[in-house]
Amino acid sequence: MDRKHIIFLTRWYPNRYDPMFGLFVQRHAEAAALFNDISVIYAHYDDSISEKYEVCEETINGIDTVKIYFKRHKSKIISFIRYFRACQLGFKRLRKPDIIHVNILTRCGVVALWRKITRGTPYIITEHWSRYLPGNDFSGIIRKNITRTVVKNASAVTTVTELLAKAMRSHGLRNPNYFVIPNIVDTNIFKPAQHNNAIPKIIHISCFENKSKNITSLIDALKILENKNISFECVLIGDGIDFQYIKDYSKKICDTRRLVFTGILEGQAIADELASGDFLVLPSNYETQGIVILEAFACGIPVIATNVGGIPEIVNSSNGILVSPNAPEELAEAIITMIGRHNDYDVVALRAQIEERYSPKKIGESLAEIYNKVKR
């Protein structure tokens, strides 16, 4: 089977300011590269640069990657024009693609639609964003109509969960070829490790954006455990816009000697820390899938997570506990239950479900099947 040249045109991708931003897109690109030739274009604003545009070319894990930074303008229209031109600079530095693979709508999709109209290059879409789910903000007549046009003209649309696909259809984002292709777990680094913690070790990993991740709910639940004289250690991994706020909030609520804030960890370091825990807690208000849940399963540890978004598609009684969002008392009871029974979960079974569905090879094969169906 001939290898096609696919350009990932993505709104989210690891960059010089945030090496974790859109990491799941990079993993999809690397999985696709097992069976096809992949390049990446990522454009994002950077108001600190001296010129209108700054182009950075590099090869990352064998993938030619062009990152273009541009200066924003006070006018949203002019800012979008600059974004559009930044993407064109990326295309000029790469050979002509057989297919454009849009990741995260809408602006990338507009660029891909333009190139389909002017150059005949087909495109597919992968959506990760939870903004289409109930309670989130996908509004505005112009935005919706543009997104509908972009989706309608795509050769295929993939989402990371069935729930997200249904939510997109409910907004009138119609396409005859919807597929579910989940996020990837690197099972080479996320794997079980022997540990025997003297006191229960709780792990939380997130981008520290409290509106979506609701970390304060976890802190409130841990305070309830303190009041019941239950021993625990909670390791909170990550960084983000609300990192300092969460630390300050914790000082007011909890005995911070029980809490460890690691900041950002990457690669093997985050895998090792996760595998050293007894269970993961993710109290999100909304979540498309929750890649960290899958990584926990790969490490053989169970999960407590909220019954929101695509989480119920992957968390059940065989691998964890589901709780209501923004309910610290219920979360505290779940943590107490998990402290008593986390060793009862089958480590081999937890990992097996990940190896079967979420490995790079499996995702790469699924993407290759879709690419091969695309016609110019």
CATH number of the domain enclosing 298: 3.40.50.2000
The stretch 151-179 carries a mean pLDDT of 94
Residues 369 and 341 in one domain: no
- Please check whether residues 29 and 159 belong to one and the same domain: yes
Is 192 domain-assigned?
Answer: no
Tally the domains of the chain: 2
Which carries the bigger pLDDT value, residue 12 or residue 18? 12
What's the pLDDT tens digit per position in 320-335?
A: 999 999 999 999 999 9
Q: Are residues 135 and 21 in the same domain?
A: yes
Least confident of 25-29, 136-140, 174-178, 202-206: 136-140
At 140 the pLDDT is: 84
- Residues 67, 113 share a domain: yes
pLDDT digits (tens, 9 = 90+) for 61-81: 999 999 999 999 999 999 999
Q: Which domain holds residue 311?
A: 201-356
231 and 331 fall within a common domain: yes
Residue 137 has pLDDT above 80, yes or no: no
* Residue 64 within any structural domain of the chain: yes
Over pLDDT 90: what percentage of the chain?
80
Residue 193 within a domain: no
Tell me what the mean pLDDT of segment 11-40 comes to.
92
Q: Which two tokens stand for residue 180?
A: 């579910």
- pLDDT (0 to 100) of residue 136: 75
- Residue 195 lies inside a defined structural domain of this protein: no
Question: Quick one: pLDDT at residue 1?
Answer: 61
Same domain, 297 and 363: no
d(CA 137, CA 116): 28
- Are 139 and 235 members of one domain? no
* CA atoms lying within 13 Å on the CB side of residue 53: 18
Q: How far apart (Å, rounded) are the C-alpha atoms in residues 81 and 155? A: 25
For range 36-41, the mean pLDDT: 98
Give just the sign of the alpha carbon dihedral 26, 31, 32, 38.
positive
b/e burial code for range 257-294 (CB count within 10 A of at least 16 → b): ebbebeebbeeeebbebbbbbbbbbbbbbbbbbbbbbb
pLDDT at 276: 96
Instruction: Examine the domain organization and report whether 87 and 144 are in the same domain.
Output: yes
Judged by average pLDDT, the poorest of 19-33, 127-141, 327-341, 360-374 is 127-141
Specify if 194 maps to a domain. Answer: no
Are 162 and 312 contacting, i.e. CB atoms less than 8 angstroms apart? no
Q: Is the pLDDT of residue 230 over 70?
A: yes
Q: What is the pLDDT of residue 121?
A: 98
Which residue has better confidence, 339 or 128? 339
For the stretch 232-284, pLDDT in tens is: 999 999 998 999 999 999 999 988 899 999 998 988 999 999 999 999 999 99
3-state secondary structure of 332: helix
Residue 189, in any domain of the structure = no
Buried b (16+ CB within 10 A) or exposed e, 179-201: bebbbbbbbebbbeeeeeeeebb
Of the candidate ranges 198-207, 225-234, 287-296, the one whose mean pLDDT is the lowest: 287-296
Per-residue model confidence (pLDDT) at position 105: 93
The total number of residues shown for the chain amounts to 376
Distance CA 183, CA 24 (A): 6
Q: Do 101 and 148 share a domain, yes or no?
A: yes
Give the pLDDT band of residue 6 (cuts 50, 70, 90). Answer: very high
Q: What is the DSSP letter of 287?
A: -
Report pLDDT for 134.
Answer: 76
Helix and strand numbers (H, E) in the chain are 13, 14
Task: Specify whether 42 is located in the same domain as 99.
Answer: yes
Residue 303 counted as domain residue = yes
Give the pLDDT confidence score for residue 298 in this predicted structure: 96
Quote the pTM value: 0.81
Would the pLDDT of 100 be above 70?
Answer: yes
Are both 156 and 243 inside the same structural domain? no
- Give me the pLDDT at residue 156, please: 98
Determine the pLDDT at residue 196.
Answer: 87
Q: What average pLDDT score do residues 286-294 get?
A: 87
Confidence of residue 216 (pLDDT cuts 50, 70, 90): very high
Q: What is the pLDDT at residue 21?
A: 85
pLDDT value, residue 27: 92
User: Do 57 and 171 share a structural domain?
Assistant: yes
In a domain, 119, yes or no: yes
> Can you give the pLDDT at residue 139?
80
